[in-house]
Every structure is written in structure tokens, then in C-alpha cells.
Structure 1
Amino acid sequence: MKGQVLVFDPLKGEGIISGQDGERYSFQGSDWRGEAGPPRAGQQVDFAASGSAAAEVFPMLGANPIAEAFGPGHKSPIVAGLLALFLGSLGIHKFYLGYTTQGVILLVSTFMSYLLTLVLIGIIPLMIIGLICLIEAIIYLTKSEADFNATYVQNQKPWF
């Protein structure tokens, strides 16, 4: 049967597939037969249904095998970490991860702090923004790709 992965928790090794018949099927990571990493939400799959469980879950490759291998919405922790490290005060890493509001907050805060440096009180907010971005860069760069995507892409955790 064909279906789509609704969710997969790499930490628990469990997921749910929505079958083409409208039913939902649970599956274990041990049932995954893909070679390009763990299953991702939104990924099209072919599986054997056994009651309310799915077994022998195979990814269905589409026209773009690179996108299929990494899944929809895949973001790189290395790219996010480097953006936070070098362009963090402008919020570029937040825009990259899809957190527009947080990106705008960083961008506006940075510009306001630069304006306040004219009266010498803007240096403190700039140092705080820099520290936040440094901490985020370290967190992003030290997480595994699966943990990073589970935390910041699928679960949408905007800060730290």
C-alpha cells in the first residue's frame, strides 16, 4: 500500500503513516528500508499493512532524489550554525530555519542597538545579541543532523 509519513520520532524510533485508504498505521524504525537516512514527515512510502501496523516501509523516490533523500523542509545544522556565527545579529539563521518573527526581532534589535551606540548605551544590547547568536551557533553545530531536524525543523523550537 502507498502512503505518506506523518511523523517519525528518531529518538523513540516510532512513526505514523497515513495510508491511501485513509487509515493510519504505526511503524518502528526497524521496519524502515530506506538507505538515505531515517524517514521524514511528508515522505511518500510504500508499505505492507498488517492490522494497524506498517511493515517493510520503503521510500518512494520522486523526480528529485536529493530532495527525497533529505525530506521536505530539511535544514543543515552546519549551515544554520555558520549563519548564526557570522550573520547571527542580522537574524539570517532564523530566516533560514523559517522563524521569520525571531529573525525580524534580531534584525530590528541590532539596528536599534547600533543607533543607540551613538549615546553609548547600545553596546550592551549588541553584546547580548552576539552572545545569543554564539550560543545558538554552538548548539546547532554540536547537534546531530537527526536531532537538529527533529528539534528545530519538525518541532519548531525557535530559541536555543
Structure 2
Amino acid sequence: MEGKILAYNPKTAKGYISGADGVRYKFRGASFRDNAKKLTKGTAVDFVPNGEFATSIMLGARTSSSSGEKSRITAALLAFFLGFMGIHKFYLGKTGAGVIMLLCFFPGIFLLWIPFGVVRIISFIEFIIYLLKSDEEFEETYVAGDRAWF
């Protein structure tokens, strides 16, 4: 059955999966056949339901309910060319961070360019970070994960 990770605590190696049938299943990290470090909230998985537990868990194909395909290169280019307006944040679904960058950009033009300069430096740093990360790290950190900054 297909599902996605709702929560996983690596310290206790326990978590929950939301199945395609709408039921929540408990699971243990030992039931995961791949690298347990890839178990993050929103990760698509395939599993075998066994009562209230999920067993034989494997990384699944990305489903439409997951965060979607986001290109690391596209995000990096948006950060480089339009990052001062926070466009790359909106692309990654980090609306709050995008609004903050927009609010620094527009008034910053009239305030001696200082807020604009700070936002431009942040977007350039993020451009470099996006390029240096692998596709898997980028997906885990910025698309499936909750990280909005750096």
C-alpha cells in the first residue's frame, strides 16, 4: 500500500504512516528496508499493513499528495536572479519566508538600500548552498523538510 510518513522519532525509532486508505499505521524503524535517515515527514513510502502496524516499509514513488517535484537547479537560479524578492522561497512553498523577503525588498529601496542588500546577500548564500547540496539532500531539507532559511 502507498502512504506517507506523518512523524518519525529517530531516538525511539517509532513513527506513524498515513496509508492511502486513510488509516494511520504505527511503525518501527527496524521495519524500514532502506536507510532510516530518509524517514522524514512527508516522505512517500510503500508498506504492508499488518493490523495497526506498517511492515516491510520501502521508499515509494512520489505521490501527488507529497510536496511535489522541486528542482534544485531551478530554486538556485531563482535565488540568484530573483532572490532579492524571495521568489525562490515561494517556489519551495516557504510562503512566510518569501513574504519576509518581499517586505525587506520594497521598503529597502527607499531606506538607503540596506534591507535590500541584506536580502540580496541571503539569497546569494542560498544560491550557493542549493548548488552544493545533492538532489537528495535538497529534497530532504528544503522540499520535504521544514527548513526555510539556509
SS at match of 2:46: strand
Q: d(CA) in 1 for partners of 2:144 and 2:106?
A: 30
Counterpart pick for 1:143 among 122, 133, 148:
133
**How big is the alpha-carbon RMSD for the aligned residues of Structure 1 and Structure 2?**
3.7
Change (3 A) 1:50 1:126: same
Change (3 A) 1:97 1:16: same
Larger Rg: 1
8 Å CA contact retained: 1:47, 1:58:
no
Q: Which amino acid aligns with 2:46?
A: V
Instruction: Name 1:5's counterpart in structure 2.
Output: 4
8 Å CA contact retained: 2:76, 2:131:
yes
8 Å CA contact retained: 1:47, 1:57:
no
Q: d(CA) in 2 for partners of 1:58 and 1:137?
A: 28
**In percent, how many aligned pairs have the same letter?**
35
Counterpart pick for 1:23 among 2, 7, 25:
25
Change (3 A) 1:76 1:29: farther
Q: Which amino acid aligns with 1:6?
A: I
8 Å CA contact retained: 1:18, 1:24:
no
Q: Which amino acid aligns with 1:101?
A: G
Q: d(CA) in 1 for partners of 2:126 and 2:75?
A: 9
Unaligned 5+ segments in structure 1 are: 32-37, 62-66
Matched, 1:98 2:97: no
SS at match of 1:159: coil
8 Å CA contact retained: 1:5, 1:18:
yes
**Counterpart mapping for 1:49-64 below 5 A:** 49=50, 52=53, 54-55=55-56, 57=58, 59=60
8 Å CA contact retained: 1:5, 1:39:
no
8 Å CA contact retained: 1:81, 1:93:
yes
Instruction: Name 2:145's counterpart in structure 1.
Output: 155
